[in-house]
Amino acid sequence: MAERVLSLLKKEGKYIAGVFSPYGLYTSSRPYDDESDAIDAIGGRNLLRDAAADHIATLETIFAIYEGKRNAPTRDVKLDLTGFTRKQVAVLRVVLKIPFGSTLSYGEVAKRAGLPGAARFVGNVMRINRLGPVIPCHRVVSTTGLGGYTGGIDKKIELLAREGVIRGDFSQKALQRIP
């Protein structure tokens, strides 16, 4: 296994921690008020620290996503997809392409990943997605509502509201689907 390192960004009084390998971002935290909480959230306590410019740029992008910035440069982020199966990677690649301010259903993601009828599989992949919000699993929803979210449904609602997908009280009609 390639050596992983910890990088940390402090911005606007918040901390985001990221674990990086030579392949790219392995995982990251959400913004926290406390540095230790950010590091603990990704299990980075025992990793060597590295403040490489590309790592900090990636963490800046993650911060921008959490802030609801439309043009966060996610295409520039190198991702470490080690540990995922070929089918899981196919799902993650579809989700990566869901545009800001849009959603897709679990079933539609499955279909586009070449796995028709595998909506539950997509849900399980979203549950283990360690690369959110760069791979925006919050944009994958149920046909009957929001579905779940590992970070808590309130965080999913917050992220979707920042992108303008949810306006006012949540309703199924507030979701904008891409064709």
Provide mean pLDDT across the span 163-176. Answer: 60
Please state, in angstroms and rounded to a whole number, the distance separating the CA atoms of residues 20 and 13. Answer: 23
* E strands in the chain: 5-11, 14-21, 24-28, 48-49, 104-105, 140-141
Residues with Cβ within 8 Å of residue 67, at least 6 apart in sequence:
162
Residue 36 has pLDDT above 50, yes or no: yes
Per the structure block, which two tokens stand in for 166?
Answer: 């949810």
Structure-model confidence comparison of residues 95 and 174, the more confident one: 95
Query: 178: pLDDT confidence band, cut at 50, 70 and 90?
Result: very low
Residue 135 has pLDDT above 60, yes or no: yes
| CA atoms lying within 13 Å on the CB side of residue 99 | 7
Please confirm, yes or no, whether 137 is among the known catalytic residues.
Answer: yes
Structure-model confidence comparison of residues 6 and 74, the more confident one: 6
Q: Exactly one of 137, 146, 160, 166 is catalytic; name it.
A: 137
- Residue 89: other Cβ atoms inside 10 A: 14
Residue 1 has pLDDT above 70, yes or no: no
pLDDT tens, residue by residue, 146-159 = 888 887 888 888 88
Place of tokens 């959490």: 66
Residue 76 has pLDDT above 90, yes or no: no
Per the structure block, which two tokens stand in for 156?
Answer: 């999913």
Residues with Cβ within 8 Å of residue 172, at least 6 apart in sequence:
144, 145
β-partners of residue 7 are 18
Q: Which helix (H) or strand (E) holds 109?
A: helix 106-112
Per-residue confidence (pLDDT) for residue 176, from 0 to 100? 45
